A and B are shown apart, each in its own frame.
Chain A
Amino acid sequence: MKILVPIKRVVDYNVKVRPLSDQSNVDLNNVKMSVNPFCEIALEEAVRLKESGAATEVIAVTVGKQASQEQLRTALALGADRAILVESDTLAEPLVIAKALAKICEDEKPHLIILGKQAIDGDNNQTGQMLSALMGYSQATNASEIKLSADSADVTREIDGGLQTIKISLPAIVTTDLRLNEPRYASLPNIMKAKKKELNIINLSEMGFDTSIRTELLSVELPPQRAAGVIVESVDELIDKLKNEAKVIS
Chain B
Amino acid sequence: MKILVVAEHDNSTLKGSTNSTIAAAKEIGSDISVLVVGNSCSSVATEVASLDGVTNVMLAEDEIYSNFLAEDLAKLVESVSDEYEYILAPATTFGKNFLPRVSALLDSQQISEITEVVSSDTFKRPIYAGSCIATVKSLETKKIISVRSTAFDGVVVGPSEAPISNVASLDSLNISSFVNEDLAVSDRPELTAADIVVSGGRGMQSGDNFHLLDSIADKLGAAVGASRAAVDAGFVPNDYQVGQTGKIVAPDLYIAVGISGAIQHLAGMKDSKVIVAINKDEDAPIFQVADYGLVADLFEALPELDSKL
Contacts and interface: CB of A to CB of B under 8 A. Distances in A.
Chain B interface residue count: which class? 35 or more
Given A133-B74, A133-B104, 13 more contacts: A18-B131, A18-B132, A95-B103, A95-B104, A120-B128, A129-B100, A141-B93, A163-B238, A178-B245, A219-B135, A229-B289, A229-B290, A249-B196
30 contacts: A18-B131, A117-B245, A123-B126, A123-B127, A132-B71, A133-B71, A133-B105, A138-B175, A142-B97, A159-B93, A160-B92, A161-B181, A163-B183, A166-B67, A214-B140, A222-B132, A223-B133, A229-B289, A229-B291, A230-B291, A231-B292, A232-B293, A236-B308, A238-B305, A239-B309, A241-B292, A242-B274, A246-B274, A248-B273, A248-B274
A178 B228 contact: yes
B220 A249 contact: yes
Interface string A211-237: 001111111111100110111101110
B287 interface: yes
Interface in B89-122: 92-94, 96-105, 107-113, 122
Contacts of B238: 144, 158, 162-163, 177, 179
Contacts of B304: 235
A249 B301 CA distance: 17
Interface string A86-111: 00000001110010000000000000
B194 interface: no
A216 B237 CA distance: 39
Majority secondary structure of chain A interface residues (helix, strand, loop or mixed) = mixed
A125 B96 CA distance: 7
Contacts, number: 257
A19 B71 CA distance: 37
Q: Sorted from nearest, which 3 A-B pairs have the closest CB atoms? A: A129-B100, A214-B109, A138-B175
Given A129-B101, A133-B101, A223 B176 contact: no
A141 B70 contact: yes
A141 B126 contact: no
B247 interface: yes
A130 interface: yes
Interface string A127-148: 1111111101111111010000
Contacts of B130: 223
Nearest to A130: B104
A227 to B, nearest CB: 8
B132 A19 contact: yes
Contacts of A144: 238
B139 A98 contact: no
